[in-house]
Structure 1
Amino acid sequence: MNIKTLADELRETIRRDNNEGTGKTVPKKKPASKNALDPIVEGIRDHKLIGKEKLLIRLDDKTIFLLKQLKVTQGIDMNKIISYSLQYFLQKHPQIANHIKETLKNLEL
């Protein structure tokens, strides 16, 4: 008999003992449902950090705290999430890149 079988038997015994007086059955745990954020987290994990240039950026304390929590809970590096977020933002708003290109064309040096 293995440990898993023993643990399952013990859980069933506890459920039965707890429910003898009430006549109710304790529902078993539902399998963890898929979180709506899972595809986003996977996209961030799959994001490749390419490039060699480093930038010093300033972020507010609340954002830093959130990034640190994300590092602890999901194992996602701050640099990776910032890179992913900026790339995602620029892809969703191509007019920004177009505006920069047009401004540089019209810039007189």
Structure 2
Amino acid sequence: MSKIRSIADELREKIRAESGSPPVPDPPEIPKKPSRVLPNKSPCDKSDRAEVHRLFDELSAFRMVGTQKIMIRLDPESMKLLKQLKFTRDIDMTKVIVFAFSKFLQQHPWLHSHVKELLKKNQL
């Protein structure tokens, strides 16, 4: 395999040759790690399919209540998935985010009281 040399490498070598200093050996080649390709996993088991259907049914039945709007930042992967959900299942992106947050609060019921305690401590 031929080595690819940049112009900077060639200039360094030329300057060293003119100055009479011994050439510095090239750094050892670092082997490239194979790129990590994640398999496109689709739900194959019947239990997985049932869980996916249950989740989408629950998401479809979820009713958003509220008029407040906020801006949030999302990473590109999450945004891509939300857009795909909108396209494939006609599920509003905001609805998915509100649904996920309400599930998070249901799974962590202690969070309300914890925030109240923090507010009390900050007011003193």
- Give the TM-score taking structure 1 as reference length: 0.65
* Root mean square deviation of aligned Cα: 1.6
Distance 2:112 2:52 in 1: 28
Q: Does 1:69 align with 2:84?
A: yes
Is 1:97 aligned to residue 112 of structure 2?
Answer: yes
Q: Describe how 1:8-19 pairs up with structure 2 within 5 A.
A: none
How far is the alpha carbon of 1:58 from its aligned partner? 0.5
In the alignment, structure 1 residue 37 sits paired with structure 2 residue 59: no
Cα distance, 1:50 vs. partner?
1.0
**Structure 1 residue 85: deviation in Å?**
0.2
Choose between structure 1 and 2 for higher RCO, CA contacts under 8 A separated by at least 6 residues.
1
State the AA in 2 paired with 1:65. K
Q: Provide the rounded CA distance (Å) in 1 between the counterparts of 2:66 and 2:123.
A: 30
For residue 97 of structure 1, report the CA deviation from its aligned partner: 1.7
TM-score, length-scaled by structure 2: 0.58
Aligned residues: 77
90-99 or 55-64: bigger deviation: 90-99
**Partners of 1:39 and 1:98 in 2: how far apart?**
30
User: Who is 2:99 aligned against?
Assistant: 84
Query: 1:27-60, CA deviations, whole angstroms, 9 ceiling, x for partnerless residues?
Result: xxxxxx6822111111111111111110110000
> What does the per-residue CA deviation read over 1:55-90, in whole Å, with 9 as the maximum and x for residues that have no partner?
110000000000011111111110100000000001
**Greater C-alpha Rg:** 2
